[in-house]
Amino acid sequence: MAKGLFGAALIVACGVTALAHHSPAAFDRTKEVKLVGTVKEFRWQNPHTWIELLVPDEKGKEVLWGVELTSPTYLIRAGWKSNTIKPGDKVTITVNPVRSGEPSGIFRSLQLPDGRVLTERPARLGTPDSK
Amino acid sequence: MRRSAAILVIAALVSASCSPAPQQSPAAPAADPPLEEGRQLSALAPANLAKPRPKPPFDLTGNWFVDVSENPEAWRFGPPYPRLTPAAQVHWDAARKYAAEGKVYRDDIGQCWPAGLPLIMTRFWPMAMIQLPTAIYMISGFMNSLRIIYLDGRKHTDPDLIVRTFNGESIGHWEGDTLVVDTIGFRGDHHWMDQGGVAIPAGEQLHIVERIRMVGDQLEIEYTMTDPEYWEGEWKSTKRFNRVIDEDIQEVSCLPDLNEHLQSTRSKTQVLQ
């Protein structure tokens, strides 16, 4: 079930602005939505990796969410592999949703069935925590 | 008669097979065929590469990444922004209006149009640069966008012949320790000077002069940009770039299935016209 978690930490979006091929202004960085669902597709690709996640709504109907991630280069630095998730996996993903209310969001974190949590590594900002 | 002819053929074959192979010196530049009138030697033609030239003051061959360590927004070329013409102000105002509504105005890069110069230089992807005596080849990790700066003394292409592009036609020359690059010939549609809530178009009159030099280990590029269609006077901005030694560029394309799976690019947040 999709559940909105409001008032979450405001995230600096600058890195995504230029790393992404599209403007990040479509996403509401002040909101986080936790998605609990089943992976339909995980595409490991440049310039963006993406996840399609089937998430049951309040009535139990499955809604297809699109989750946008950074490029594999930065995911690898954060501990991802191309087989970290696969279709059929039950996962929990937190996103900043698009402002329009459509089932789409930009990735914040992934919780795997074994409890491990993966995030993204920010693009190379020249700061100690991003190299 | 028949016998003598056969002897002659055999003698000729033996002679050919025993002749020493023509001597080839691998160091000698290959002879290029003569140029047709009005044609320019390619930057990769051996005869062009082999022409005597002064040693350049630096070699920027390597992978480079814009330095945003002090300002995460330093990939932008403003603020400050120049005074806009009415033709640009329309877009600026529209972007602000839609941003206030939570919408994205004319994000052409997000719709897979090339970023173009100057934005292509400061995407958050490494830029591979390969310097030869005759040209610098730049390939951005972002969509593998190609930019060539010719250093072989050629002039800009006749305006009636030029093929307008998003990165334009760049001609460079050395002035002391600085490489001065003059770029014109831009596409004037779907080409923007900024992204993410700031909409200033880049037009066909866009003219960019870059003064490139090494400052310590960093590459510094001082931009002076004019486009009388969209802003008044000179728009100046200086960028620094750091070497990337642990990352190569990869194949990156805006494939048809990319935005198909990035719902935000097709969402109601997008104002495409």
DSSP label at B144? T
Cβ atoms A102, A119 nearer than 8 A: no
Tell me the C-alpha distance between A15 and A18, whole Å: 6
Which residues, in sequence order, are CB contacts of B139 under 8 Å at separation 6+?
A: B127, B128, B145, B146, B147, B249
Coil vs helix vs strand at A124: coil
CB contacts of B107 in chain A (<8 Å) are 22-23, 25
Question: Chain B closest CA to A31's CA: distance in Å?
Answer: 13
User: Could B267 and A28 be called an inter-chain contact, meaning their C-beta atoms sit closer than 8 Å?
Assistant: no
Which is more confident, B100 or B58? Answer: B58
Chain B within 8 Å of A100 (Cβ-Cβ)? yes
DSSP label at A26? G
DSSP label at A112? -
Q: Where are the domains of chain B?
A: 62-271
Question: What is the CB-side half-sphere exposure of residue A8 using CA atoms within 13 A?
Answer: 18
Cα separation of the two ends of chain A: 36
Is the ipTM here above 0.85?
no
Kind plus residue range of the DSSP H or E element containing A107 = strand A104-111
Tens digit of pLDDT for each residue in B109-148?
Answer: 999 999 999 999 999 899 999 999 999 999 999 999 999 9
Tens digit of pLDDT for each residue in A52-92?
Answer: 999 999 899 999 999 999 999 889 999 999 999 999 999 99
Kind plus residue range of the DSSP H or E element containing A90 = strand A90-97
CB contacts of B72 in chain A (<8 Å) are 12, 14-15, 125
Domain around A119: 3-130
What's the domain count of chain A?
A: 1
Task: Please give the mean pLDDT across all residues of chain A.
Answer: 81
Tens digit of pLDDT for each residue in B155-206?
Answer: 999 999 999 999 999 999 999 999 999 999 999 999 999 988 899 999 999 9
DSSP label at B17? H
Q: Look up the pTM and report it.
A: 0.84
CATH assignment of the domain containing A58: 2.40.50.140
